[in-house]
Amino acid sequence: MHRRTRRISVWFLGAAVLGAGALTVLPETEGHADTIAADTIAANAEVTASAGAKTPFTTVETESGKLAGGADIHSIKPGDPAPTKATLETEASGYAYAKLDETGESVSMPNRTGKQANTLVVRASIPDAPEGGGITASLSLYVDGTYRQAITLSSKQAWNYRGASTNPDDPNAGGAAYRFYNEFPVRVKGDPIPVGSNVTLQKDSGDKATFYAVDSVDLENVGPARTRPDGSLSVVDYGADPTFEKDSTTAIQKTVDTARAQGKPVWIPEGTYLTNSFEGAAPLDFTGVTVRGAGMWYSTIYRKPPLPAKQRTQILVGSGTKLSDMQIDANAIWRDVRGPGGADYGINASGAKGWLVERIWTRHTDANWLSGTGGTIRDSRTADSYGDGFNINNSNKPGPDTKGDDITVQNNFARGTGDDSFAVYSDSGTNHDNAQLSGARVLNNTAIAPWWANGLRIAGGKDIQFKNNLVKSVSSNSALEISVFGDSGHALESATVSGNVLIGGGGWNGVRHGVRIGSPTPTSQFPDAYTNVTMSDNVMQGALRAGLYIDKKNIRATLTNNTVDGPANQGIWIASGVTGTGTFRGNTVKNLRPGQVATQNDSKDTFTITT
């Protein structure tokens, strides 16, 4: 899976339309690189424009940039041999990155955002240390050919090893490497980068990593810090230290407890606040209080438990909490919730009376764990997580504060997550007495390059809505999985999946595909459970295996006006042994590769398709 090329090319090799009645094969387009059917571009561009989150930054992929000094692009594409292990290519957004491994090599990207940029986020990978634990190295930033500054990159929170016999950070214990990338926020020194100027990342003589895999750059014009709300209590006044020298856990909690008693909001001024750095430090509990920072580029709560960790470091959000405008970061080095690797939930939300989280940025945490009733998280970001990006759930046991009902996840951005980027998880619990989750809404979010699991995941529930989301470049699993969660998961009673753009999928973790619809074999607890889903007006593009795959038993799927575009293998594949029904109307399968079919039903006797 290591391919060197100067540019990413797009291949379109024929089309078919699955409409009401017959399957019509359309003429093939030219079958060589860089030939793109105009109608395909127009149709997909229109759908893509309405899908995903609206963000204050613009992402530029390095494969669209200008290379110099011998730098090259490494990529994979549909039709290449399907991946069997994680690689720098599979984990890159767009399945492509620029490699700089000799002095003088560079990649340049223009600022075409329409705004000047005073910050960057560089997504890149550098090698691990030979014994694990990571290294630190600089990379040089130029603007219009003039040196600006050295950017510090690190692999200390990257390069984990799946199945290692000692711990996931040990490269010499027989594990398989993954989690290669990290994001590095950069405040640009000097004047902001003007519109139209070129941003260049270059390996100079002082940049000592043996290679730099540069995936993408976000350009953003960050405005001034937010001001203190009237009547708020400042954590600094209660002893919190914004200079990151003294632990602020106790001071922040004291401020919140006082504000709760007095009915006042809490203010976290600009600064970085060290928390959980002493053994026995408790999680921060913001239940019932409005807590606001100066902005996600200005106010940071940084969790630094002594490693190996022995304590929880999550932030608790409960009924009546309003949390906004801050970054939450951590020193975690591998996934193990509340375990020795230091990872824990970004926020852990619950409560019967609703909560609101907006404009937060979680980094190097586990999932944002979202339960309760009537909660909303919006306009937020997560990066480099060790678990899900945003997980709507009904917990693992029944309770009035953990029903998981009527929760909205809207206009959020997730990149480099260590499990599903956006998930709904309805579990019946160990004793099968946990009620069905209902009313989850996952709307207009963006999921980029999760290094484990899926971009979107629906695991059971009732009245689930996944609309207008964008997924791109899933490394290990599928762009979207629709099923249940294990043997204790509730069936999917009803889900609407519409207007989503699902690019890639079909990664290295077993036989995965662009989109999968499945369910477990019926159990004694759920003998007649079906997966019930309606999919309409979705684009499934560039899968590394089949575009849409249906397997297991008891499926009821209605597919209307969806497009499967350019999969490596079949357009729609129903595996052997599937039971149930499919109602397919007005779907299009196009740009198939030679020898591939639009629809392959290996369960014709047990899975009936009505067109």
**Shared-domain flag, residues 28 and 65:** no
Look up tokens 């591998």; give the residue.
334
Closest CA to 394 of 514, 332, 484: 484
C-alpha span between 267 and 275 (Å, rounded): 16
CA 181 distance to own-chain centroid: 13
Is the peptide bond preceding residue 265 cis, with omega within 30 degrees of 0? no
The β-bridge relationship of strands 441-443 and 315-317 is unpaired
306 CB-contact burial (10 Å; exposed 0-12 / middle 13-18 / buried 19+)? middle
Whether 548 is in a domain gets the answer yes
C-alpha span between 596 and 574 (Å, rounded): 14
Task: State yes or no: pLDDT of 5 exceeds 90.
Answer: no
Specify the pLDDT at position 28: 34
Task: State yes or no: pLDDT of 11 exceeds 90.
Answer: no
Whether 518 is in a domain gets the answer yes
The β-bridge relationship of strands 136-143 and 146-154 is antiparallel
**Shared-domain flag, residues 65 and 28:** no
CA 549 distance to own-chain centroid: 22
Whether 12 is in a domain gets the answer yes
CB atoms within 10 A of CB 26: 14
**Shared-domain flag, residues 83 and 22:** no
C-alpha span between 356 and 382 (Å, rounded): 16
Task: State yes or no: pLDDT of 16 exceeds 80.
Answer: no
Task: State yes or no: pLDDT of 313 exceeds 60.
Answer: yes
Task: State yes or no: pLDDT of 472 exceeds 60.
Answer: yes
Rounded to 5 degrees, what angle do the CA atoms 7, 178, 167 make? 165
C-alpha span between 257 and 234 (Å, rounded): 12
Lowest mean pLDDT among 42-56, 260-274, 434-448, 513-527: 42-56
C-alpha span between 324 and 357 (Å, rounded): 6
Return the DSSP state at 298: T
Question: pLDDT-derived band of residue 397, with 50, 70 and 90 as boundaries?
Answer: confident
C-alpha span between 71 and 212 (Å, rounded): 10
Specify the pLDDT at position 528: 77
Specify the pLDDT at position 33: 27
Whether 199 is in a domain gets the answer yes
CB atoms within 10 A of CB 186: 18
C-alpha span between 98 and 540 (Å, rounded): 26
Tell me the CATH number at 122: 2.60.120.260
Q: How many residues does the chain have?
A: 611
Both structure tokens of 17:
């339309």
Distances (CA, A) of 606 to 467, 516, 519, 560, 602: 30, 18, 15, 21, 9
Q: Percentage of the chain surpassing pLDDT 70?
A: 91
Rounded to 5 degrees, what angle do the CA atoms 443, 481, 431 make? 95
**Shared-domain flag, residues 30 and 61:** no
Span 206-228, average pLDDT: 98
**Shared-domain flag, residues 170 and 314:** no
The residue type of 506 is: G
Task: State yes or no: pLDDT of 179 exceeds 50.
Answer: yes
C-alpha span between 353 and 48 (Å, rounded): 35
φ/ψ bin of 587: left (φ > 0), alpha (ψ from -120 to 50), beta (otherwise)? beta
Whether 394 is in a domain gets the answer no
Q: Look at residues 169, 195, 220 and tell me which one is the last residue of a structural domain.
A: 220
Lowest mean pLDDT among 1-10, 48-57, 184-193: 1-10
Q: In what helix (H) or strand (E) does residue 42 lie, and over which residues does it extend?
A: helix 38-50
Specify the pLDDT at position 50: 85
Q: Which residues, other chains included, contact 175 with Cβ-Cβ below 8 Å and sequence gap of 6+?
A: 160, 161, 162, 163, 164, 165, 168
Q: Each residue of 208-231: b (16+ CB within 10 Å) or e?
A: ebebbbbbbbbbbbbeeebeeeee
Both structure tokens of 322:
């309003």
Look up tokens 């504000």; give the residue.
259
Specify the pLDDT at position 241: 98
Specify the pLDDT at position 520: 72
Q: What are the pLDDT digits (tens) for 478-535?
A: 999 999 988 889 999 999 999 999 999 999 999 999 999 998 766 656 677 899 999 9
Return the DSSP state at 257: H
Tell whether the torsion through CA atoms of 582, 586, 590 and 595 is positive or negative: positive
Closest CA to 429 of 373, 485, 372: 485
Task: State yes or no: pLDDT of 259 exceeds 80.
Answer: yes
Task: State yes or no: pLDDT of 232 exceeds 70.
Answer: yes
Q: In what helix (H) or strand (E) does residue 405 lie, and over which residues does it extend?
A: none
Q: What are the pLDDT digits (tens) for 88-115?
A: 999 999 999 999 999 999 999 999 999 9
Tell whether the torsion through CA atoms of 318, 323, 329 and 331 is positive or negative: negative
Q: In what helix (H) or strand (E) does residue 255 lie, and over which residues does it extend?
A: helix 249-262
Q: Domain range spanning residue 93? A: 57-220
pTM: 0.93
**Shared-domain flag, residues 431 and 540:** yes
Whether 197 is in a domain gets the answer yes
Span 167-188, average pLDDT: 98
Whether 242 is in a domain gets the answer yes
What is the number of structural domains in the chain?
3
CB atoms within 10 A of CB 511: 12
Q: Look at residues 220, 239, 259 and tell me which one is the last residue of a structural domain.
A: 220
Specify the pLDDT at position 72: 98
Q: What are the pLDDT digits (tens) for 342-363?
A: 999 999 999 999 999 999 999 9
Asked if 282 and 305 count as a contact pair (C-beta separation under 8 A), the reply is no
**Shared-domain flag, residues 204 and 301:** no
**Shared-domain flag, residues 246 and 208:** no
Asked if 149 and 238 count as a contact pair (C-beta separation under 8 A), the reply is no
Span 230-252, average pLDDT: 98
Whether 106 is in a domain gets the answer yes
**Shared-domain flag, residues 517 and 572:** yes
Specify the pLDDT at position 12: 28
**Shared-domain flag, residues 272 and 195:** no
Tell whether the torsion through CA atoms of 257, 258, 262 and 266 is positive or negative: negative
Strand partners, 57: 220
Lowest mean pLDDT among 187-191, 220-224, 357-361, 484-488: 484-488
Specify the pLDDT at position 579: 95
Question: pLDDT-derived band of residue 390, with 50, 70 and 90 as boundaries?
Answer: very high
Q: Look at residues 220, 243, 269 and tell me which one is the last residue of a structural domain.
A: 220
**Shared-domain flag, residues 186 and 289:** no
**Shared-domain flag, residues 550 and 450:** yes
C-alpha span between 269 and 293 (Å, rounded): 6
